[in-house]
Structure 1
């Protein structure tokens, strides 16, 4: 069942099993606010079990850097805005991974990692990426990193 993320009233729907469910819900709401304000798009997620192709797609892109996320995926979504395909997976650990993939050749293509407030950097990312901090009213302190995608997906 899909869930339209509400960034006014933050809810842990679909994220209850996460030890940082409230912070992960705030992170998800922060993403929803961004897409609503910038593109007028409703951020709608689905349980990861209902969209295994999206979870596998993100995993395949991550293998480009020999990264395998150990935590179970809870929710995922994919949508296209202005020629860019966005794919998100939210993990039980509190990690959010997004793939920004411009459909035109030569456009921006990158993977972004965001860590929910209160979670440790997952072991699989510790030595590979440096994380910068940003503040969010919805999500507290978000730590993020990214890498540029070199392959075709």
Structure 2
């Protein structure tokens, strides 16, 4: 069952098993607000059990590009296209959010972004590989983020 994320009334629907549920819900709402304001796109997620293709695509990119395997179970995911860019998001029980920005034009930008919910530790599989910058959000508190550029075709 899909869920259109409401960024005016932050809800933990679908994320209840996370130890940082409120911060993760705020992080998800922050992403929803960004896409609504920038692209007039409604950010809609589905449970991980209904999003295996999306999650597999994201995990394949992580494994192929940087030999990263995420330990936390995924809770939700989404995939959509806006202005020639394929976006995929996976939200994990630990409070981690991973997004893939993949331009459909071969000369466009392609990257993987990591965002950590307020209150969560940096996952071991990312801690030694990335430095995380801090960003304040009214919806999510302090978000820590990092990214890498995708080199290969996926």
CA-to-aligned-CA distance 1:23-82 (integer Å, 9 cap, x gap): 000000000000000000000000011110111000001011011000000000000000
Matching of residue 53 in structure 1 with residue 53 in structure 2: yes
Superposition RMSD on alpha carbons, in Å? 0.3
Aligned residue number for residue 19 of structure 2: 19
Q: C-alpha displacement at 1:107, in angstroms?
A: 0.4
State the alpha-carbon separation in 1 of the partners of residues 148 and 86 from structure 2: 16
Deviation at residue 127 of structure 1 after TM alignment: 0.3
SS of residue paired to 1:145? strand
The aligned residue for residue 41 of structure 1 is: 41
Partner of 1:107: 108
Aligned pairs, number:
153
CA distance in structure 2 between the aligned counterparts of 1:150 and 1:133, rounded to whole angstroms: 25
Show the counterpart of 1:141: 142
- TM-score, L = length of structure 1: 1.00
Provide the rounded CA distance (Å) in 1 between the counterparts of 2:51 and 2:116. Answer: 22
Which residue is equivalent to 2:31? Answer: 31
Say whether 1:117 aligns with 2:118.
Answer: yes
Match of 1:68 in 2: 69
* Cα distance in structure 1, aligned partners of 2:70 and 2:88: 15
Which stretches in structure 2 are left out of the alignment for 5+ residues?
A: none
Give the gaps of 5 or more residues in structure 1.
none
For 1:84, the equivalent position in structure 2 comes to 85
Normalised TM-score (structure 2): 0.99
Structure-1 separation of matches of 2:51 and 2:119? 27
Question: Aligned equivalents of 2:103 and 2:66: distance in 1?
Answer: 19
Other structure's SS at 1:35 match: helix
